[in-house]
Amino acid sequence: MKQLFLSRTLTIISIVALLAVTAHAQQPEITLLEQAQQLFKPLPQDMATTEFPITPMRVALGRKLFFDARLSLDGTVSCASCHRPALFGTDALPKSIGVEHRLNAHNAPTVLNAALQFKSHWIGDRENVEDQAMKSLTGYASFGNPDTETVIKKIKALGYADNFAQSFPEQKDPIKPENWGIAIGAYERTLVTPSPFDDFLRGNVNALTPQAQRGVNTFIETGCASCHSGIGVGGALFQKFGLVEDYWKAIGSQTLDEGRYSVTKNPNDKYVFKVPSLRNVAKTPPYFHDGSVATLPQAVIVMARVQLGKTLTEQQVADLVAFLNSLTGKLPEDFITELGLPPQALPATTP
Amino acid sequence: MKQLFLSRTLTIISIVALLAVTAHAQQPEITLLEQAQQLFKPLPQDMATTEFPITPMRVALGRKLFFDARLSLDGTVSCASCHRPALFGTDALPKSIGVEHRLNAHNAPTVLNAALQFKSHWIGDRENVEDQAMKSLTGYASFGNPDTETVIKKIKALGYADNFAQSFPEQKDPIKPENWGIAIGAYERTLVTPSPFDDFLRGNVNALTPQAQRGVNTFIETGCASCHSGIGVGGALFQKFGLVEDYWKAIGSQTLDEGRYSVTKNPNDKYVFKVPSLRNVAKTPPYFHDGSVATLPQAVIVMARVQLGKTLTEQQVADLVAFLNSLTGKLPEDFITELGLPPQALPATTP
């Protein structure tokens, strides 16, 4: 764990060093593409890891479970309720609403490319997409089930026993929340959205309009890329929101969210949040951890001001938005197609 | 209106007469297929009518609107919340749950083939699918919007203005709840699910297994077809639930629902409900207006007892269920595929 932090710190230092070099030194021979290739990386085919390998069986099961609202307390909430396919894996709400109209603490981030991130949730209180999925089953403001026994009974009653057995053939008793999380995770690890910016990073300079290219340059020169870098264009570290100004005044928050401090109780973590990935950002309003900002230009202006102390020109904002639009990817076919849940109903009770 | 009732009454009389003939007279020359063809009809290509013609523009718009939860009070409920594609257009709940966890009065019927029915809702308080959709926008336990002005503002804010203009080119001010209903209705009028039983009715006797054919025979001879007939195998008339026994004792209802009486206040309408279409019934548990019965065999047994005073044999139940399974149709491709809502979020407010 310490090693991970050390390596992360070194990465940040080297990025900052690189930015210093690219922004200030006279190196006309470095093209924008080369600069971008040093800071960002194109998407892989999928997001399987050694710890979380994916199999076709698990992906197929995870996909069904992702869309099945019957697992929730009152049968109304599935993963897809807050991560709607047609809304690029979000719900377009400031903060998501779970079972019994319970309000979530934060805005729902997209599930697209989410497995790339170093932690899940805005305050990093979930380790990965598997952990996030598993804990949502009994999360108060998500699926709302009282305990894991209830969940296990529901999974069996709905006719998923065979699917679990086939997906975890080495296990004697595979129906458990951990495996629910692993199956959903396997599915989510297939949800990558290759974008024009990925084509650009692979060397096709014409994949970006001249304005979007200017936006890449502004993104690097202004300092945005010091946090929003890597494959996810973000999603790789924590950072204080409001380095220069109080964020809640800048975005008009209705409540004061102390961020990661609520997890660690370490005063250094006050107002610290995960730096979100900017992939598909143009398609996933509203913005920030509490959804306080409705439009992308407004979000860009606020970020430059409160994080970097900079006032952007209208042209810079337009260029940055053009670049951010190039991060909009193609929705995976088996995300926008909903298919074949087992047809069983749970034993009838009037809620 | 009177004429309609008269013609309906005549239809019922002629069906009853036909049943009397087929059940009791010696007419060995009439085959099961011929009998069935006199009582039922195969599905049309779509369910457009002179009053509600469909156009590709309206269907496309209606499809988007069907899946857009942002139109509801809190952004959590769309048509597809209670009419989930993968659950054959239902939600597998006893009674549906709308915005703010408000409980609906009745079980959600499927939207598949729904436009065939002579009225909408279990108690017939909606004239057709267009009327049902339109009124759901401000329905307390569905979308929950306070008034139509709010709805109109939301439709505009979400970027649908052009779609409405293209779908209703003859109108100057096309964004209104009536047109929302007409667009959703146009989409729903395409949602037909041709089944093996339709193949059978068109003359392919082998489309049904021998057991399902015995089920058709039992369905006619027992008297089920006296209410469940026509294209929808039901959905064409009102009938008292519990002609022989009190329904609420038979199905274990938790509340006493007086049915259509609550609409008309006519004592003759006490415990009267719309006879539901049985198309896709095997895929749409739980059963009856309050979802009190979880399985199809149980529903079949109850119906024979409380409506016809008959106790079915195990074999008869199995045969009837085999027939009802043959009413399961193919899901329309553009129902199970969810695509392309406008990406705008509504102005951010914390709910």
**DSSP code per residue over A260-282:** THHHH--GGGTTEEEPPP-TTGG
Using CB atoms, pick whichever of B74, B76, B85 lies closest to residue A338.
B85
* Cβ–Cβ below 8 Å for A338 and B340: no
Kindly give the pairing relationship between strand A272-274 and strand A238-240: antiparallel
Q: Dig out the tokens for B250 from the structure.
A: 């038979």
Mean pLDDT of chain B: 91
Radius of gyration of chain B (CA): 21
* Total residues found in chain A within this entry: 351
CB–CB of A211/A322 below 8 Å?
Answer: yes
pLDDT of residue A251: 94
Q: Looking at chain A, which residue has its C-alpha nearest residue B81?
A: A76
B312-338 pLDDT, tens digit each? 999 999 999 999 999 999 999 989 887
pLDDT of residue A12: 55
Residue with tokens 């993968």: B86
**C-alpha distances in Å from residue B36, one per residue of B219, B296, B310:** 10, 22, 22
* B14, burial (CB in 10 Å: exposed 0-12, middle 13-18, buried 19+): exposed
Residue with tokens 């083939």: B113
Q: Looking at chain B, which residue has its C-alpha nearest residue A284?
A: B343
* Cβ–Cβ below 8 Å for B338 and A336: yes
pLDDT band, very low/low/confident/very high, at A342 (cuts 50, 70, 90): confident
**C-alpha distances in Å from residue A26, one per residue of A30, A31, A33, A317, B310:** 10, 12, 17, 26, 94
Give me the mean pLDDT over the A110-121 stretch. Answer: 97
The ipTM assigned to this model is 0.82
B140-184 pLDDT, tens digit each? 999 999 999 999 999 999 999 999 999 999 999 999 999 999 999
A93: Cβ contacts below 8 Å, ≥ 6 apart: A82, A107, A108, A286, A291, B74, B75, B76, B345, B351
pLDDT band, very low/low/confident/very high, at B341 (cuts 50, 70, 90): confident
pLDDT at A6 over 70: no
Tell me which residue of B221, B204, B236, B226 sits closest to B326, measured CA to CA.
Answer: B204
pLDDT of residue B284: 96
pLDDT band, very low/low/confident/very high, at A16 (cuts 50, 70, 90): low
* Cβ–Cβ below 8 Å for B351 and A93: yes
Instruction: Give the three-class secondary structure for B109.
Output: coil
B259-268 pLDDT, tens digit each? 999 999 999 9
Q: Dig out the tokens for B145 from the structure.
A: 């919007």
Mean pLDDT lowest for which of A56-60, A310-314, B21-25, B275-279? B21-25
pLDDT of residue A234: 98
B273-304 pLDDT, tens digit each? 999 999 999 999 999 999 999 999 999 999 99
Determine the distance in angstroms separating the CA of A196 from the nearest CA of chain B, rounded to an integer.
19
Partners of A255 on chain B (C-beta within 8 Å) are 350
pLDDT of residue A2: 43
Mean pLDDT of chain A: 91
Partners of A60 on chain B (C-beta within 8 Å) are none
pLDDT band, very low/low/confident/very high, at A344 (cuts 50, 70, 90): confident
pLDDT of residue B6: 46
Determine the distance in angstroms separating the CA of A4 from the nearest CA of chain B, rounded to an integer.
36
Give me the mean pLDDT over the B181-204 stretch. Answer: 98
Amino acid at B83: H
Partners of B338 on chain A (C-beta within 8 Å) are 85-86, 336-338
pLDDT at B346 over 80: no
* Cβ–Cβ below 8 Å for A86 and B339: yes
Strand partners, B230: B40
A87, A100, A339: which to substitute to probe chain B, counting the most B Cβ within 10 Å? A87
CA A247 to CA A242: how far, in whole Å?
A: 5
Determine the distance in angstroms separating the CA of B345 from the nearest CA of chain A, rounded to an integer.
5
Determine the distance in angstroms separating the CA of A116 from the nearest CA of chain B, rounded to an integer.
23
* Total residues found in chain B within this entry: 351
Determine the distance in angstroms separating the CA of A342 from the nearest CA of chain B, rounded to an integer.
8
Angle at Cα B98 formed by Cα B93 and Cα B101, nearest 5°?
Answer: 90
Q: Looking at chain B, which residue has its C-alpha nearest residue A98?
A: B76
Residue with tokens 């309720």: A81
Partners of B292 on chain A (C-beta within 8 Å) are 348
Kindly give the pairing relationship between strand B272-274 and strand B238-240: antiparallel
B210-254 pLDDT, tens digit each? 999 999 999 999 999 999 999 999 999 999 999 999 999 999 998
pLDDT band, very low/low/confident/very high, at B8 (cuts 50, 70, 90): low
pLDDT at A253 over 90: yes
CA A242 to CA B97: how far, in whole Å?
A: 40
Residue with tokens 């009715």: B201
A133-176 pLDDT, tens digit each? 999 999 999 999 999 999 999 999 999 999 999 999 999 999 99
CA A201 to CA A118: how far, in whole Å?
A: 22
Give me the mean pLDDT over the A6-28 stretch. Answer: 53
- Give the CB-side neighbour count of residue B216, counting CA atoms within 13 A: 25
CA A234 to CA A224: how far, in whole Å?
A: 10
pLDDT at B18 over 60: no
Partners of A86 on chain B (C-beta within 8 Å) are 67-68, 338-341
A76-110 pLDDT, tens digit each? 999 999 999 999 999 999 999 999 999 999 999 99
pLDDT band, very low/low/confident/very high, at B89 (cuts 50, 70, 90): very high
CB-based burial, B226-236: b 16+ in 10 Å, e otherwise: bbbbbbbbbbb
Phi, psi of B40 (to 5 degrees): -125, 165
Q: How many CB atoms lie within 10 A of CB A221?
A: 15
Partners of B325 on chain A (C-beta within 8 Å) are none
Partners of A339 on chain B (C-beta within 8 Å) are 86, 336
CA B112 to CA B90: how far, in whole Å?
A: 9
Extended strands (E) in chain B? 238-240, 272-274
CA B334 to CA B339: how far, in whole Å?
A: 9
* Cβ–Cβ below 8 Å for B97 and A74: yes
Q: Looking at chain A, which residue has its C-alpha nearest residue B345?
A: A92
For a pLDDT cut of 90, what percent of chain A falls above it? 85
Tell me which residue of A285, A269, A268, A196 sits closest to A233, measured CA to CA.
Answer: A196
Q: Looking at chain B, which residue has its C-alpha nearest residue A89?
A: B343
Strand partners, A273: A239
B157: Cβ contacts below 8 Å, ≥ 6 apart: B344, B346, B347
A71, A72, A76: which to substitute to probe chain B, counting the most B Cβ within 10 Å? A76
* Cβ–Cβ below 8 Å for B87 and A341: yes
Give me the mean pLDDT over the A54-78 stretch. Answer: 95
**C-alpha distances in Å from residue B311, one per residue of A149, B234, B240, B300, B303:** 39, 22, 19, 10, 10
Using CB atoms, pick whichever of A70, A100, A254 lies closest to residue B92.
A70
Kindly give the residue spans of alpha helices, DSSP state H, lying in A68-128.
Answer: 79-82
* pTM of the predicted structure, to 2 decimals: 0.87
Determine the distance in angstroms separating the CA of B4 from the nearest CA of chain A, rounded to an integer.
37
Using CB atoms, pick whichever of A75, A87, A336 lies closest to residue B92.
A75
pLDDT of residue A350: 41
Give me the mean pLDDT over the A119-127 stretch. Answer: 95
Partners of B339 on chain A (C-beta within 8 Å) are 86, 336
- Give the CB-side neighbour count of residue B84, counting CA atoms within 13 A: 30
Q: Looking at chain A, which residue has its C-alpha nearest residue B106?
A: A350
